[in-house]
Amino acid sequence: MSGPSKSPSKLTNRRALAMMGGVAVLCALPCLLAGMLTGRRWLVTLGLVVAATGAAWLLCARFAREEVMRPVHVRYLREFFPAMAGYVVLMMVSGALVPRMESVAARVALAALPLLPIALLVRAMVRVLRDQDELERRIDLEAIAIAAMSTAFGFFSFGLLPLADIGWQVSGHTVAIWVMPCLFAIFGITKPLVARRYRDRE
């Protein structure tokens, strides 16, 4: 019962994950190198996060099924890649230029610059969520709900711990900047677990 495909894409899940992992690791290397050479800790952190994400994608690629990607997911990748690449580049530009700027307005504009690709990334995620099929949407929404609740719970707990006066000194901006990466990381871990519930166990 096979019909003609609308626009068959040759990109498979496994190849896409391997590609994403490779690109992420390649993006992480200059960040790590620049961070270590200039002594900028935020660059090293960015490089480590991107490298860890890339390594996770490469690991997933090893176990993913060789299945042709549907056009909706190919479009998502086409939107996701430029946004992520733009984010890494703008983070580096912003981090390098902000301390050198005299004007407050210029500093604010430069500091907020990485938000542009993140907004594009959010748009890509909303579009894929709307356009994928009903089971895929259900799995994603369940995973996002679990990730949102876990992130909120984790950060709330983290907010309560200083009450115990255990000597932790974490700035508000450090905490705030980690909310989104934590949300995405937990979503990435939760999604395959949620998807397992709908898979046939043979």
Partner 1 sequence: MAERLDVSRQTVNAIETGKYDPSLPLAFKIAALFGRPIESIFDPGE
70 lies in the site for partner 1, by CB under 8 A: yes
Nearest distance from C-beta of residue 35 to partner 1, angstroms? 39
Nearest distance from C-beta of residue 133 to partner 1, angstroms? 4
185 lies in the site for partner 1, by CB under 8 A: no
Q: How many residues bind partner 1 (CB under 8 A)?
A: 18
Q: Which of 10, 39, 66, 67 binds partner 1 (CB under 8 A)?
A: 67
- 8 A C-beta contact, residue 121 and residue 84: yes
> Which of the ranges 24-32, 77-85, 117-125, 194-202 carries the binding residues for partner 1, by CB under 8 A?
194-202
Q: Which of 63, 134, 166, 169 binds partner 1 (CB under 8 A)?
A: 134
**Side-chain-side CA neighbours of residue 67 (13 Å):** 8
- 8 A C-beta contact, residue 42 and residue 88: no
Q: Which of 1, 104, 160, 166 binds partner 1 (CB under 8 A)?
A: 1
**In one letter, which amino acid is 80?**
F
136 lies in the site for partner 1, by CB under 8 A: yes
Say how far apart CA 132 and CA 173 lie, in whole Å.
Answer: 35
100 lies in the site for partner 1, by CB under 8 A: no
> Which of the ranges 127-135, 154-162, 170-178, 184-192 carries the binding residues for partner 1, by CB under 8 A?
127-135
Q: Which of 10, 100, 130, 197 binds partner 1 (CB under 8 A)?
A: 197
Q: Which of 116, 119, 135, 161 binds partner 1 (CB under 8 A)?
A: 135
**Side-chain-side CA neighbours of residue 40 (13 Å):** 18
Q: Which of 5, 108, 122, 180 binds partner 1 (CB under 8 A)?
A: 5
Nearest distance from C-beta of residue 73 to partner 1, angstroms? 9
The residues that touch partner 1, with contacts defined as CB under 8 A, are 1-3, 5-6, 67, 70, 132-136, 138, 195, 197-200
